[in-house]
A and B are shown apart, each in its own frame.
Chain A
Amino acid sequence: MVMVYLITILSFTIVLTTAIGPVYVPPLEIVSLLGNKLHLLENASIPQKYEVIILQIRLPRIFLGLLVGLSLATAGTTLQGLFKNPMADPYIIGIASGAAVGAVFSMLILPSFLFIYTRPFMAFLGAMFTTFLVYNIARVGRRIPVDTLLLTGIAISLFLGAVLSFMMFVAEDLHSIFFWLMGGFWLANWTQVKISILPVFFSFFLIYIFAKDLNAMLLGEESAQTLGINVENVKKILLVFAAFITAIAVSFVGTIGFVGLIIPHITRILVGPDHRILFPASALVGGIFLMWTDALARLLGEMPVGIITAFFGAPFFIYLLRERKGKK
């Protein structure tokens, strides 16, 4: 039921956010253009300028927003389930920073040995490396206490931030890196959508397969094991794919914080903790959220969208911290 609502909202969002931008495009024109392209409508009388704006500028950007929102929300949901902790998110525990370092490294130094896949690949390496670093530092015996996880994540993020600053200091093309880092969709194009759509959906599906295992792991790892789950393996697979899906998002649009934190949390309040519903629901909510924040960014003179999500996210994070304190 929730999914029906969300898909309806998603459809409206696609149309409405396409309308928003420096040039206003009437939603009706968008509907008729989309209908035309999908061979649902026949009366094609859309002004040429609208067609270019919609097809070449707005739509790739909106679909990339959807994919990135979906990726970050899925990564956040996975990490929160794995660490049994609603404060985990790819940005806070340093995975996104690792991906950023990998991506910047490839932009500055490496030749494009994998063509357009070089940057996503290096981002993935950076994300994986950071994930296992944080995981192993934060681990106490078999457990990963919340406080050490957050502290380790923040420490590693700070360190990686310094690495990024250093790379920018020695870089020649500072400007593009700087804007990329702040997180934004202004360079979105259909190529990015095309190369990310398959890996994103593939990762999403793979993570979704482990929905029931994650449910059981919320009851504690030992309980999960007595329910027939090979906990150590599931943990490794999920960490790899959470890092992978984060890396895809980061390599195209830079670091956009807090989406992976807020979205799963809000969605959990809406649909409950069952990952079989939580994964698709938070993926959709994440996509919708990022499409709207990007629309807002366009209205605010192409402000980096990372700034807007941080404006929402940081207070939310503080609210979560306070609430936890209240419970204790």
Chain B
Amino acid sequence: MPLEIKDVDTYYGSVKILDSINFNASHGELLGIIGPNGSGKTTLLRTISRILKPKVGAILLEGRDVLEMGYREFSRIFAAVPQDTTINFDFSALDIVLMGRNPHLGRLELESEKDIEIARRSMRLTNCWEFAERPITELSGGERQLVIIARALTQEPKVLLLDEPTSHLDINYQIEIMELLKRLTSEEKLIVIAVIHDLNLAARYCDRLVLLHDGKIVSLGTQAEVLTAENIKNTFGADVIVKKHALTNHCYVSPVPSPLKRQNKTEAGLTVHLICGGGEGASLMHELAKKGYKVSVGVVNMLDTDYEVAKLLNIPVVTEAPYSPISEEAFQAHLAVVDRANVVVLCNIPFGFGNLRNLEVAERALERNKPLLVFEATRIEKRDFTNGEATKRFIILKGKGAIRVKNQEEVFKAIGQL
């Protein structure tokens, strides 16, 4: 293993910040360090870049102890891009990049044509050669970041360390910089270790992730292994849904609002049953739960958005196997759940032959004198994929006294009046 971090403990004064950190990184690997604020990400990076000395443990590069190297030798192998790249003195961008040659030059030695060539190559690679002559003080944050990365590359390092290289940048530069890091690992075979705040950016580009919490490694591995809702809940304390991105098949983390408090409001006690699917019930579920209603949901297919949201909100849900029509068993279970509800809401869902039986349940609810709200934001004809069968049954529902509502406010109003 080219780079080994072995049992590293780092202290600030007497406070232990890093606690037996252990991991490896190999050539051509982009390793992301993630974790909540104060978890020790920056400290870890500063320890590897020798700004901080670990109290215990070793850092080895190809078997050599990094802590034993001289300052100049170390900086020919390791280059770092700090979090704050503000520079108040008006050096030109090229001057700044040429400083990357310092570890290779004597104190009074001038930069040769070869050094300038290396600087030019780095600046072309990071796409900032066009503003080589401009004062660094006049560049935008993103442009400056590119220049600082070019400086690091001009050191011709084997290991590149970056502390939140994309924070404060707009999405265009975020992508540009992450793509650049990816290229540096795959083409130049660098070891790149970057602290990254944005979990999705980390998932999208990093080969492996290190998840830190309270100075310890909580999880280490591929994005699928590290970015689980459970890990994120335990470290960040945030509730999230982790999905596969439709386009890239990378993990995609999106937050859900903080855990719902079950308030004892006046409405509490009423149970609202939602007949939904395809994500049509998700936001209503959330709003109702927030208002203190008990909510139940049926019949939805597993892995459906409504299914996931219900699970997340701890709402009882009647399920069917993925992509399967509603079975007799699920139908009966659904009826039983509806029986316990005080009011039933039929969401604005499309109907196919697979979920036609959900309409049947709605009809049964009416027959048992349950108030039925029919949420109709889109005309039924447009979401009927059963050659008119669904529309026919829908009209029957209305004839039997279903209350038609057009938006969420009307749903709450109607339920409030019960």
Contact = CB atoms under 8 A, between A and B. Distances in A.
Contact of A225 (B51, B87, B100, B107): B51
Instruction: Pick the most buried of A209, A222, A272: most chain B CB atoms within 10 A of its CB.
Output: A222
B107 A218 contact: no
Contact of B71 (A218, A225, A272): A225
B243 to A, nearest CB: 38
B82 A223 contact: yes
Interface in B314-354: none
Contacts of B75: 226-228
Contact of B103 (A84, A220, A227, A274): A227
Contacts of A161: none
Given A212-B107, A215-B99, A216-B99, A228 B74 contact: yes
Contacts of B79: 226
Contacts of A223: 80, 82
Contacts of A215: 91, 95, 99
A273 B90 contact: yes
Given A212-B102, A227-B155, A222 B87 contact: no
A226 B50 CA distance: 8
Given A209-B108, A273-B90, A274-B91, A228 B103 contact: yes
Contacts of A216: 99, 102
B126 interface: no
Contact of A274 (B46, B78, B82, B95): B95
Given A209-B108, A212-B107, A226 B87 contact: no
Interface string B62-105: 00000000011111101110101001111100011001101101
Contact of A227 (B50, B84, B89, B100): B100
B96 A219 contact: yes
Interface string A210-245: 101101101110110111111000000000000000
B102 A228 contact: yes
Contacts of A226: 49, 51, 75, 78-80, 82
A86 to B, nearest CB: 9
Given A226-B75, A228-B74, A274-B95, A220 B107 contact: no
A211 B8 CA distance: 36
B50 A209 contact: no
Contact of B82 (A84, A218, A222, A273): A222
A213 B239 CA distance: 48
B102 A273 contact: no
Interface in A170-224: 209-210, 212-213, 215-216, 218-220, 222-223
Q: What is the size category of the interface that chain B forms with chain A?
A: 20 to 34
B87 A219 contact: yes
A230 B72 CA distance: 9
Nearest to A220: B82
B251 to A, nearest CB: 32
Contacts of B90: 272-273
Nearest to A216: B99
Contacts of A222: 46, 49, 51, 80, 82
A300 B108 CA distance: 44
A219 B99 contact: yes
Nearest to A80: B89
Interface in B98-121: 99-100, 102-103, 105, 107-108
Contacts of B49: 222, 226
Nearest to B100: A227
A218 B136 CA distance: 12
Contacts of A219: 87, 96, 99
From A212, A218, A227, A272, residue with most partner B Cβ within 10 Å: A227
Contacts of B46: 222
Interface in B2-37: none
Contacts of A272: 90-91
A219 B90 CA distance: 11
Contacts of A227: 75, 99-100, 102-103, 155
Nearest to B70: A228
A225 B72 CA distance: 9
Contacts of B95: 215, 274
A229 B71 CA distance: 6
A236 B71 CA distance: 17
Contacts of B105: 212
Nearest to B74: A228
Nearest to A85: B88
Nearest to B84: A220
A291 B46 CA distance: 49
30 contacts: A84-B88, A209-B108, A210-B107, A212-B107, A213-B107, A216-B99, A218-B88, A218-B89, A219-B87, A219-B99, A220-B82, A222-B46, A222-B49, A222-B51, A225-B50, A225-B51, A226-B82, A227-B75, A227-B102, A227-B103, A228-B71, A228-B72, A228-B74, A228-B76, A228-B102, A228-B103, A272-B90, A272-B91, A273-B90, A273-B91
Interface of A: 84, 209-210, 212-213, 215-216, 218-220, 222-223, 225-230, 272-274
Given A218-B89, A222-B51, A227-B100, 17 more contacts: A84-B88, A209-B107, A212-B102, A213-B107, A215-B91, A220-B82, A222-B49, A222-B80, A225-B50, A226-B75, A226-B79, A227-B103, A227-B155, A228-B75, A230-B71, A272-B91, A274-B95
